[in-house]
Every structure is written in C-alpha cells, then in structure tokens.
Structure 1
Amino acid sequence: MGADVELTAGLTGVDEPGFAGLTERHRRELHVHCYRMLGSFEDAEDTVQETFLRAWRRRETFEGRSTVRAWLYRIATNACLDLLAKCRPEPASGEVRWLQPYPDRLLDELPAGDADEPETLAVARETIELAYLVAVQHLAPRPRAVLILRDVLGWPAKDVAELLGDSVNSVNSALQRARAGMREHLPAERQDWTGGDEDAGTRELVRRFTEASVATDIPALAALVRDDVRSSMPPTPGMQIGRDEVVKYWVESGFEGMTGLRAVPTAVNRQPAVAFYHWREAEGAYLPLTLDVLRVVGGAITEIVTFHSDRFAGLELPERLPADGSEEERHDHHG
C-alpha cells in the first residue's frame, strides 16, 4: 500500500511540514484504531492528537526498522493504554456508558488496503459494529490491545510482543483470554452479532421501524423486534433485555402518544440508523431528539442503541428540519 512508507533513515532531519506529510495520511486509520480501543469517538480524537504530539517529540526514536505506519500504531496503542490506566471505569454488565457512534462517511476515508478480500472486508465491518465495541470494552486493556492488533490488524505475535514489551508466549496467552472474553459478551454464532451487508429486506425493516417510530405506534414497533432484543441509551445507565422489557420502557417513558416527530435515515458503525427530530413551536422547526442505531439479524431488530442529540453535529446531521419537511424529504428517500 502506497501509504505504508518504508524509511531507511530516521526522522531526526525531517522538518515539521515534512513530518506532517509522512504521518497525517494515517490519521483516519489511527483514529479508528483508538476508537476500537476506547469506544468513544471524542476520546479517540484526543488520543490521536496525543499520538501525533508524542511522535513529533520522539521522532528520534524512529530508526527505520519498521514503517512509519507501524511506529505510529505503536505510539497510538500506548497512548490508549495510558488513558485506560488513568480514567476508565469498569463497564457494568452489558453497558458501556461512554460509547459513542462513528459515522460511516468517516469510515469511508479508510485506506483501501486489501479491500478486495472478502474476509478483510468482513473483519473491518464486524469489528466496528457496536456489538463488537461493547464486547471489547469488557476486556482488560492489554488483552484488548492484543486482540485488536492480532485479530483486527493482523499483526504477527512477535510485533505485538515488541510493542507491549512482552514475550510472544505472554501475547499468545493474552489473545486466548481475550477471545474467550469476547465469546462471553457476544452471541455464540458470528452471524448473530453482526448484521452483515445491508440488503433490501433490512432496508424495508428500517423503513417500517422509522414509520412506526414517527407514528409512536408501539404495537407496530414490537412486531419488528426479536424476543431477546436489547435496548440501551448511553450514557444513561440501564439496559432493557427482551421484547416485554423494551415495550414496558417505551410505555413508561411517555413515548406512546408523542407527536411532532420527523426522521432522517443515516448510517453509523456500518449499521442502519435513524435520526429523530421533534417539533418545537417556539423555534418553528424540528430539532434533534435522538439517534437510534439498529442491529438487524434474520429479518428482525435485535438491538437498538439510542444516542442523545449531542451526537448529531459530529455525524453531520442537520441542526434542524424546517416546518415544510423539505429537509426530511431530501434525506428520506423512502417517502
């Protein structure tokens, strides 16, 4: 890959613009790497900034024995581990309250790499979905780093050992523990935790979910979700598991009978999502309300992760929808 530059000399003689030219091309993939490690878009942003700062300050440590890309991944991984050691609580059962969505438009900026390889594509998609991110957050930081470097990025065990200052045996042992931990937090079958490629059936299901939500038709929504559906709203504590619990939550939260909703379809974490807006008379417009991210398996919704309106700006969703619905119609081709 052209972006993976080999330098035989070090970086000590490189000026700041030249250094930026060598490193900035890797910003998006480093951001996604930090996001997988941390589960938070904003924390990943801060950590990538810290990575580039450390890289510039320590540029004399690059000796040309690896690529600049691998060197940056080493710095980024350690920056993530430093952050996790400082300030990240243990996730509650099934909950990752710091979870934030990642817009598909930014994932599209990732370098192609081996994009024509179906297995590579599948791994890239599955390991950015919210179910995977939640599961990986339950791992201790070092096994988490090992899992991502080995299973997602495909690094050899000896390279991971060198990065972590560990032995190959220790890395292999950590990988086995991490895989076992992932199995505890993901459904047994891979196809049960990844929604896979979006097909016509999924699009139709999302359309029906959107219409039922705008109409606040709880029976119609209940018919679209699986018996074991899970629903959460990070950073709000609590998770509802099972159709009855989810429906009860919808009823008790006052969703039924709510009026003045509009919806805009979008996509985050390679999953279908729907941004909802609520009419505000004083503003004369529909303003951001919530974002529902859906996991669809076998023709039914298996998980709904709802984010608050503060995520809209980062996803480049409209700040408001006009009263005539023109913005909605431009975004919602379902009609």
Structure 2
Amino acid sequence: MSADTRREELGVSGPGMNGPGEVDESAFSGLAERHRRELHVHCYRMLGSFEDAEDTVQETFLRAWRRRETFEGRSTFRAWLYRIATNACLDLLAKRRPEPATGGEVLWLQPYPDRLLDELPAGDADEPETVAVARETIELAYLVAVQHLAPRPRAVLILRDVLGWQAKDVAELLGDSVNSVNSALQRARAGMREHLPAERQDWTGGEEDAGTRELVRRFTDASVATDIPALASMLRDDVRCSMPPTPGLYIGRDTVVNSWVEDGFEGMTGLRAVRTAVNRQPAVAFYLWRKDRGAYLPLTIDVLRVTGGAITEIVTFHDDQFPRLGLPERLPPEGTE
C-alpha cells in the first residue's frame, strides 16, 4: 500500500494535512476504533492494569487526532497508533510508577476477560502486527514478569518480541540508537527469564486438555466444600499464591495451606462457584450466601495456572472485578433458578 493510499484512508484531501478540515473526523474515528481492542491489550501488557489501559487508549486516540498531520503514510496506520500508545504508556509509567515491580508480585495487576480477548483480529498477511497480537502472551505469569522490567526495556521487549518490530523502528520510536535498543532487549530477556516459570511451555497458553478441566472441577468442588486437605493434594510443592492489590506472596504448599488455615477458610459455609476464563487461563468465581440479601454475592475470583496435572499458581482477585469479567452480580438461592 502506497503512502498516498494510506493517507487517503484517513480522508486526507491534500498532501499537507495542514488544517483540521482536511481530515474527515468520522473516518478517522472509524479507523482508530478498528484497532481499539489490540491497542488496549498492548497497553494492558505494558501497564498490567485493565483500568490504566482503558485510560491510555483514550489518551492515544486523543493524541492521534491532535497529531493527525504527522501521519505521513510511511508506515501503516496501525503501526502509527502503536507508536502513540507506547509513548502514552511510558508517560503514564513515568508519572505513576517510577519503579518497576519487585519481589515477584504486582499489586496493581488486574485480570483480562477472555470474552474481550476473543475480539482480537485473527491476523492479516499484509499487517504483520495482527499476527503477533493473535498469538500474544497474555497469561498472568507473563504480565507479572513484564512488570518487573524498567519501562523502556519493557517497551523494547514487547515491541520486538511480541509485535515483531524491527530494531530500527523501535529505536526511532524511543529516540535511541539501534545498539541501545539491542542492549535493552538483552537485559529485558534476561529479566524475563528470571521471573518467568522455569519451563516456557508452562506459560505459553493453549487449549485446556481433559486433565486440566478435571483438575479445575476438583478444585472448584473442594473449594466450595472448604476441604483444605483435598485442595492441598492438587498443589505443586512450589505453588505460588497472591491476591492483588493486597500485599503478600505465598510460595510453597505448606505456606499456602497455612495461610488458608489462619484466614479461617476451613469450615466456611455458603459458597457457590461459577467457572470462567481470564488471560487465557481457567478461573473460578466464588459467591458467598448472604441471608440478609437472599442471594449469593460476589466474593473472589481464583485464576489458576496448571502444569503437569498440578496447580502451580493461584492469583486471587477481589469482588470488584466481577462486573468487568461479565459475571453475574448475584446468584439466587439454589433450586430457584
């Protein structure tokens, strides 16, 4: 596609784009909206927060409209938006989080519902960015590892390894040299190896097999029954548990089980569960019976990572995430549905 054709996509009537009247706003908005979901996922990966990603995509579209005259058609419109979105993320990180995450936990981490990930484009041979997005790494273990990188190496890693950008294009975006970008990429990859699960296949996603579905079913039943011995039998020795934004990372089966006992989970009654999926991982939403409300109300969501037939990680989110995940706001008494 020629530069002139790409500019014509935006409704540009002349080569200069010097005045707002030369671009049709509705055409511009329509083109930008086509890329909203993939840009949102890109910002989510950069920031680790669904809400921050939403704000940043809105800022991206605002900046794109204000700077529309800078689109010269040398790259695709999508790539131009990715440039703006990446810089918007870096600006936000500089203001809100001067330091990356530490200690293996990310307190601002939020889940991403699979039903929204399903909106991502399937891929287009003429647009290599869409192919990269379609096979992106979006699991929570990857998100946590990314958040431990400093912002600029984080951007380099995502642009190079996830989106497949050339080093010279990343260097142009960041205002760095190619050598600097390559050096940042090496540091970022080393940081990812330090924080990712040991075996790559543990976190690259894929369809649930029958064994995983059965394990999740057993986990759900044992959780509703608050059967701690049964739950403990499903955990790998080095299991990790966290509950953002509540501080605390529990590592090891005994440590995790002891935390459940101390929190009074054993013997708890009145739970119901609903299966769901977030970040391409199995998840279980739990509801607690509230007699005064005559219904089961949202409690927590457990997102599971399963490896070799055992649970290797549980990330628990609070009830404020239920609406975003499309979960019911309440469940009626059993037998009345």
Alignment TM-score, normalising by the size of structure 2: 0.91
Matched residue, 1:253:
263
1:83-120, Cα deviation, whole Å (9 max, x unpaired): 000111432300100000000000000000169xxxx9
Matched residue, 1:41:
50
> How many angstroms does 1:194 deviate by?
3.9
Structure 2: gaps (5+ residues): none
Change (3 A) 1:272 1:25: same
- Of all paired residues, the percent bearing the same amino acid is 84
Partner-residue secondary structure (3-state), 1:321: coil
2:77 to 65, 68, 77: 68
- Amino acid aligned to 1:220: A
Question: CA–CA distance in 2 between the matches of 1:112 and 1:193?
Answer: 21
1:109 aligns with 2:108: no
Question: CA–CA distance in 2 between the matches of 1:25 and 1:124?
Answer: 15
- Amino acid aligned to 1:292: D
1:192 to 196, 199, 202: 202
1:140 aligns with 2:179: no
1:79 aligns with 2:78: no
Partner-residue secondary structure (3-state), 2:35: helix
Partner-residue secondary structure (3-state), 1:7: helix
Structure 1 window deviating more from structure 2 (85-94 vs 258-267): it is 85-94
> How many angstroms does 1:197 deviate by?
2.5
1:223-280, Cα deviation, whole Å (9 max, x unpaired): 0110000000000000100000000000001110000000000000000000000000
Partner-residue secondary structure (3-state), 2:300: strand
2:215 to 189, 205, 212: 205
Change (3 A) 1:124 1:299: farther
Contact 2:48 2:109 in 1 (8 A): yes
Matched residue, 2:235:
225
Alignment TM-score, normalising by the size of structure 1: 0.91
Contact 1:229 1:302 in 2 (8 A): yes
Question: CA–CA distance in 2 between the matches of 1:293 and 1:109?
Answer: 21
Contact 1:139 1:178 in 2 (8 A): yes
How large is the Cα RMSD of the aligned pairs? Answer: 2.0
> How many angstroms does 1:15 deviate by?
1.9
1:263 aligns with 2:281: no
Change (3 A) 1:194 1:18: closer
Matched residue, 1:276:
286
Structure 1 window deviating more from structure 2 (58-67 vs 239-248): it is 58-67
Structure 1: gaps (5+ residues): 328-335
Matched residue, 1:94:
104
Query: After the TM superposition, which segments of 4 or more aligned residues of structure 1 sit over 6 Å from their partners?
Result: 120-123
Change (3 A) 1:264 1:301: same
State how many pairs are aligned. Answer: 320
Question: CA–CA distance in 2 between the matches of 1:190 and 1:109?
Answer: 26
Matched residue, 1:31:
40
Structure 1 window deviating more from structure 2 (213-222 vs 91-100): it is 91-100
Partner-residue secondary structure (3-state), 1:323: coil
Matched residue, 1:7:
6
- Amino acid aligned to 1:136: V
Matched residue, 2:170:
160
Question: CA–CA distance in 2 between the matches of 1:8 and 1:321?
Answer: 52
Matched residue, 1:330:
none
Matched residue, 1:331:
none
Partner-residue secondary structure (3-state), 1:65: coil
Contact 1:260 1:278 in 2 (8 A): yes
> How many angstroms does 1:162 deviate by?
1.1
